[in-house]
């Protein structure tokens, strides 16, 4: 018994639960022999279906990256990773707007988080890793940068919902989250998740027509599209 995961190649099947057997009673004694089981004529052959006690087992897809880690270790999060060149380029854009020049600049490639392991129960998180994100692993995903949000602690780039090469929206969790890329922190005391609250607060205030002192919102004249690969990020060992 096997199945095909959504988005997998047509010749790729998952699962190895036996539902029948070919024993001596069915095909005779073939121990040590090379044989083909093919009924050319008549009705002499038969195959017994094993009693599964009304249970079946669907196996998860095998992913080289996940299988290289202990089975109990899931990625901390799934994200889209900007290249080093893209990261440096958009730090230059922030400098041109004179935003957060005195902050700590994230020199390693910036990224956009699509789902964090604490956003969902572990069973749902694992299921979405395999069903939603595994087929997109390392594929180039389109991200449209739309603006900048900042305050006295953090600077981030706002984006639209990411799109696959087919133009389909990539699911994000929790649904409806404000998509962004964290770029700069005032110092190491600021936790990375702070940028989530920053983006949500500033856009909510923008819709209400209010503004908190020190908050900055800049909308780009036109969205800028870039492409980034989808990556799985594991805890450091």
- Helix (H) or strand (E) run with residue 227 in it: strand 216-233
> CA–CA distance from 20 to each of 35, 131, 163, 170 (Å)?
18, 28, 43, 39
Please choose, from the candidates 111, 85, 106, 113, the residue with its C-alpha nearest in 3D space to the C-alpha of residue 184: 106
pLDDT along the chain (237 residues), means of 10: 58 58 68 60 60 56 50 83 92 94 82 93 92 91 96 96 93 91 92 92 94 94 94 83
β-strand partners of 218? 148
> How do the domains of the chain map onto residue ranges?
64-233
**Nearest alpha-carbon partner for 196 in 172, 219, 170:** 172
* Residue whose C-alpha is closest to residue 226's, from 87, 26, 100, 47: 87
Torsion angles phi and psi, residue 66, rounded to 5: -70, -40
Give the pLDDT confidence score for residue 20 in this predicted structure: 66
Residue range 64-233 forms a domain whose CATH class is alpha beta
């Amino acid at each position: 018994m096997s199945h095909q995961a959504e988005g997998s190649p047509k010749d790729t099947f998952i699962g190895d639960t036996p539902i029948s057997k070919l024993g001596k009673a069915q095909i005779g004694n073939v121990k040590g022999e090379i044989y083909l089981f093919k009924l050319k004529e008549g009705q002499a052959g038969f195959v017994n279906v094993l009693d599964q006690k009304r249970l079946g087992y669907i196996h998860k897809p095998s992913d080289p990256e996940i299988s290289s880690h202990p089975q109990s270790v899931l990625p901390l999060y799934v994200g889209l990773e900007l290249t080093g060149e893209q990261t440096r380029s958009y730090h230059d854009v922030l400098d041109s707007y004179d935003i957060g020049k005195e902050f700590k600049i994230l020199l390693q490639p910036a990224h956009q988080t699509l789902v964090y392991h604490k956003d969902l129960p572990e069973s749902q998180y694992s299921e979405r890793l395999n069903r939603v994100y595994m087929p997109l692993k390392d594929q180039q995903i389109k991200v449209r940068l739309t603006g900048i949000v900042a305050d006295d602690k953090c600077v981030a780039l706002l984006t639209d919902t990411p799109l696959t090469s087919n133009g389909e929206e990539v699911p994000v969790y929790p649904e409806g989250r404000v998509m962004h890329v964290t770029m700069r922190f005032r110092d190491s005391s600021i936790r990375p998740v702070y940028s989530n609250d920053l983006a949500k607060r500033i856009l909510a205030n923008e819709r209400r027509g209010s503004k908190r002192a020190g908050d900055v919102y800049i909308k780009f004249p036109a969205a800028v599209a870039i492409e980034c690969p989808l990556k799985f990020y594991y805890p450091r060992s």
